[in-house]
Amino acid sequence: MLPHLRTDGTATRLVVDGEPFLILGGELGNSSMERAYLDPLWPGLEALGLNTLVAPVTWEAIEPVEGDFDWTMLDELVEDCTAHGMRLVLLWFGSWKNSMSCYGPGWVKTDTARFGRAHDEHGRAQEILSPFGKEARDADARAFAALMRRLRETDERHTVVMVQVENEIGMIPSARDHSPAAQAAFDDEVPAALVGHLTEHRDTIDAALRERWAAAGCRTQGTWTDVFGPGDATDELFMAWHFGRYVQAVTAAGKAELPLPMYTNAALIRPGHRPGQYPSAGPLPHLSDVWRAAAPDLDFLAPDIYFPDFVGWADAYVRAGNPLFVPEALRSTDASVNALYAFGAHRALGFSPFGIETIEGHAAALLRSSYDVLRRLTPLLLAHDETVGLLPPSDDQRVPHRVDIGDLVLHATYERIAAPSLADGVINEADDRAADRTRLPAGAIVVRTGPDELVVAGIGVTLTFTDPTTHATVGILACEEGTYDDGEWHRLRRLNGDQTHQGRHVRLEPGRFAIQRVRVYRY
Ligand code: DGJ
């Protein structure tokens, strides 16, 4: 059975071999996917507990000569992933990769007459294929279709479970393409399909987009400036629509060969930056309505979360039923707890730090522990609807943080301790200074497995509970530390006394990941 997305109750799941599958992933660096280079790295990747590798396949590698395909790199990557028991999310580095068109084959790059470039406002050509170029779109779609056909013919075990179409599309340093074809489209009417979509979804579209449209008179006909008003925000909307239409053509061509789940990803906005200063017009939250209208064959839009506000960005991507998949995340110590948040708060399809083959030190050790916890909790996460993710809400970790789980309220505080020396577990003076810079993260995932039963897992989090419905005091009846094997609980020790502050709280110690099973009662 082909990997596909399925709605289970309130969650969207990736189904692999007929079973829901959570991606505990890692994305390879851009140039690390070739067999000879990757070969010695497999033991490290396996030791992290990854079940999925996220890796590029590039247009220049598969179609060095137009119409002449070379599948060596792809076939080897799929074979090696299969041999190492990992699934694969393939990234199609086609027309765009981080705004640029650097992965276009030489025959595309050198034929600028056939494959038109985006122009800046001074008329200078960029190394960015113009989304208004039909030749480029069709050539990309043909190559992508050939790739998906190759997978259909060779990947019998479905090692490849999803495909990302293009990578971090975005206009920079100009918010808009000023090539003649782009200018003509900008001066033309806004496509009826876009206005129709916005009209149909008027009540639920992004608030800023709705305001912009309303401020210009809620017109359903006219040029882009007539309908959305002048300015760089309109430039960005215009580009989002046209990038989206191009990606739709590529996606549709690929799905016609092999309909795996497909998505595209976004570079996020650096705080305070304007369109043109950040890679603009990509599948960003404020443009998601435009992207969904332009590219209906994409199954979802995904964020690459490198900025500190992980919660804010993850939350912004689950609007209107968009499932969360984080194909790229910073490979810091925080990745370990951000993963818990993604699966707990948003029942994510998956999580994947970038440059996974180079993760080391505390970040690697913590990710390994976090993925171990998530692997053990997977049957519970799939079986229960009530799950939450806990991350410190602000820099002030002493603020009690209130999170609802069904009719119970969790009150969380967080403890982040200095990281010990990895070498021998002893902190000497020099390590101590380094450790000041490395504080271990805090965060947890909580699953409500019954009316009075919770499974709590993570690091550096202390929890108390209240019941706002009955106002009864919620006490701890029993708390155990242990682990799960294939969904079965194995107790390590019963916790009470100092470990629960004499029955007052549940505490996941700072410095190490643990799983606890908690029964509460009311009095
Ligand atoms: C985001 C891109 O999508 C990746 O391919 C890579 O270039 C990273 N940035 C580097 O941090």
Q: What is the pLDDT of residues 494-523, one digit of tens each?
A: 999 999 999 999 999 999 999 999 999 999
At 323, give phi and psi (nearest 5°): -75, 150
Q: Residues 444-469: pLDDT tens digits? A: 999 999 999 999 999 999 999 999 99
User: How many CA atoms lie less than 13 Å away from 315 in the CB half-sphere?
Assistant: 9
The residue whose CA has the least distance to atom 8 of ligand 1 is 354
- pLDDT(248) > 90: yes
Which pLDDT score, from 0 to 100, does residue 435 have? 47
Q: Does residue 437 surpass a pLDDT of 80?
A: no
What integer is the mean pLDDT of 186-214? Answer: 96
What pLDDT score does 9 carry?
Answer: 87
What does the pLDDT read at residue 136? 98
pLDDT at 317: 98
Give me the pLDDT at residue 224, please.
98
pLDDT 10s digits, 52-101: 999 999 999 999 999 999 999 999 999 999 999 999 999 999 999 999 99
For residues 318 and 265, what is the distance between their CA atoms, to the nearest angstrom? 14
Q: Calculate mean pLDDT across residues 261-267.
A: 98
Distance of CA 188 to the CA centre of its chain: 35
Separation of alpha carbons 226 and 240, rounded Å: 17
Mean local confidence (pLDDT), 7-12? 92
Three-state SS annotation for 263-277:
EEEEECCCCCCCECC
Please state the φ and ψ torsions of residue 84, each to the nearest 5 degrees. Answer: -95, 10
Token pair listed for 193 = 């399909």
Hey, what are 407's tokens?
């009719």
Indicate the SS3 state at residue 128.
strand
Verify whether ligand 1 is closer than 6 Å to residue 328 (CB atom): yes
- Distance from residue 169's CA to the centre of ligand 1 (Å): 11
Query: Would the CB of 32 count as within 6 Å of ligand 1?
Result: no
DSSP SS3 for 360: coil
**Residues of the chain with pLDDT > 90: what percent?**
93
DSSP string across 239-290:
HHHHHHHHHHHHHHHHHHH----EEEEEE-PPTTPPBTTB-BTSS-GGGHHH
Average pLDDT, the chain: 95
Tokens for 459, please give them: 């690091």
d(CA 251, CA 249) in angstroms, rounded, equals 6
| Nearest residue (CA) to ligand 1, atom 11 | 354
Q: Work out the pLDDT band at 334, boundaries 50, 70, 90.
A: very high
Per-residue pLDDT averaged across 214-241, rounded?
A: 96
Q: Which two tokens stand for residue 309?
A: 């506000």
Least-confidence region, from 161-165, 248-252, 423-427:
423-427
Which residues, in sequence order, are bridge partners of residue 148? Answer: none
Which residue matches tokens 């640029």? 100
Nearest-atom number in ligand 1 for the CA of 56 is 5
Task: Give the model confidence (pLDDT) of 391-430 as tens digits.
Answer: 998 765 556 799 999 999 999 999 999 988 766 444 444 4
Residue 30 CB–ligand 1 contact under 6 Å: yes
28 vs 512: CA distance, rounded Å: 26
Query: Within 13 Å, how many C-alpha atoms sit on residue 358's CB side?
Result: 11
DSSP structure string for 220-234: SSSBHHHHH-SSHHH
**Paired residues of 351 in beta bridges:** 24, 326
Give the Å distance between the CA of 422 and the centre of ligand 1: 28
394: how many CB neighbours lie within 10 A of its CB?
8
Instruction: Indicate the SS3 state at residue 510.
Output: coil
Q: Are residues 71 and 61 in contact, defined by beta-carbon separation less than 8 angstroms?
A: no
103 lines ligand 1 (CB under 6 A): no
User: Which two three-digit tokens encode residue 172?
Assistant: 């920079």
Q: What is the pLDDT of residue 431?
A: 46
Give residue 218 CA to ligand 1 midpoint distance, Å.
38
Query: What is the mean predicted confidence (pLDDT) over 236-265?
Result: 98
- CA 329–ligand 1 middle distance (angstroms): 10
Q: What is the pLDDT of residues 40-60, one digit of tens each?
A: 999 999 999 999 999 999 999
Q: What pLDDT is attached to residue 394? A: 73
Exposure letters 104-133 (e unless 16+ CB within 10 A, then b): bbebbbeeeeebbbbbbeeeeebebbbbbb
The stretch 218-229 carries a mean pLDDT of: 96
The ligand 1 atom nearest the CA atom of 167: 3
Please state the rounded mean pLDDT for residues 318-343: 97
Q: What does 406-475 look like in DSSP terms, one character per residue?
A: TTEEEEEEE--PBPPPTTTS---HHHHHHHHH-BPP-EEEEEEEETTEEEEEEESEEEEEE-TTT--BEE
Average pLDDT over residues 103-126: 97
Q: Give the residue among 172, 176, 181 at the shortest CA–CA distance from 136.
A: 181
Q: Considering only CA atoms, which residue is closest to atom 2 of ligand 1? A: 98
The pLDDT, as a whole number, for residue 398 is 56
| pLDDT band of 31, cuts 50, 70, 90 | very high
| E strand or H helix that includes residue 404 | strand 401-405
351 HSE (CA, 13 A, CB side) = 29
Residue 57 CA to ligand 1 center (angstroms) comes to: 14
Distances (CA, A) of 153 to 256, 257, 270: 14, 10, 42
pLDDT at residue 242 greater than cutoff 90: yes
Ramachandran angles phi, psi of 98, nearest 5°: 50, 60
Type of residue numbered 88: L
Question: What average pLDDT does range 209-236 have in this prediction?
Answer: 96
> CA 234 to CA 241: how far, in whole Å?
11
Angle between helices 134-154 and 232-257 (to 10 degrees): 40
DSSP 159-187: -EEEEEEEES--B-SSSS--SHHHHHHHH
Residue with CA closest to ligand 1 atom 9: 98
Q: Find out whether the beta carbon of 144 lies less than 6 Å from any atom of ligand 1.
A: no
Identify the DSSP state of 10.
T
CA atoms within 13 A on the CB side of 99: 19
Q: What is the whole-number distance in angstroms between the Cα of residue 38 and the centre of ligand 1?
A: 18
pLDDT given for residue 203 in this prediction: 93
